[in-house]
């Protein structure tokens, strides 16, 4: 479903196709190489619909060069993340490969707890 270029399937229809959508999407993020958008679409659905199940993985994306694209996708959604997750994501991303983007997004966040992580 995720390999179709257009129209992009919705996360809800993907979840309906699997008895364990979070695990299956996570496997795609970790192992799908072609087409290149499969992993990113899977990650997007994880962040939007399964964050409670995969928070540890999402926070981990912020730390390594290999998951730089996933970190950028996540940090661009910072304002939509629950506060405790946003704090964990920003904390993990500081000093990581997406440090500049993390600092920029955190500085614009509406929550004081998130902004405080990047203010001197």
Q: pTM of this prediction?
A: 0.87
Q: What is the mean pLDDT of residues 16-30?
A: 89
Q: Give the range of the structural domain holding residue 93, as residue numbers without chain letter.
A: 66-120
Report whether pLDDT(16) > 90.
Answer: no
102 in any annotated domain = yes
25 in any annotated domain = yes
What pLDDT was estimated at residue 105? 97
What pLDDT was estimated at residue 35? 83
Q: Would you say 97 and 65 are in contact if contact means Cβ atoms under 8 Å apart?
A: yes
Residues 118 and 70 reside in one and the same domain: yes
Q: Would you say 51 and 85 are in contact if contact means Cβ atoms under 8 Å apart?
A: yes
What pLDDT was estimated at residue 32? 84
Residues 37 and 73 reside in one and the same domain: no
Report how many domains make up the chain: 2
76 in any annotated domain = yes
54 in any annotated domain = no
Q: Which residue do the tokens 């966040």 mark?
A: 109
């Amino acid at each position: 479903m995720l390999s179709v270029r257009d129209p992009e399937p919705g996360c809800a229809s993907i979840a309906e196709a699997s008895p364990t959508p979070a695990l299956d999407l996570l496997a795609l993020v970790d192992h799908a190489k072609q087409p290149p958008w499969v992993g990113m679409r899977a990650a997007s659905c994880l962040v939007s619909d399964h964050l409670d199940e995969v928070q540890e993985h999402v926070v981990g994306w912020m730390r390594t060069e290999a998951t730089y694209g996933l970190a950028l996708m996540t940090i661009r959604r910072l304002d939509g993340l629950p506060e405790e997750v946003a704090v964990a994501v920003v904390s993990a991303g500081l000093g990581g490969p997406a440090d500049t983007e993390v600092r920029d997004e955190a500085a614009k966040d509406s929550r004081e707890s998130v902004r405080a992580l990047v203010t001197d």
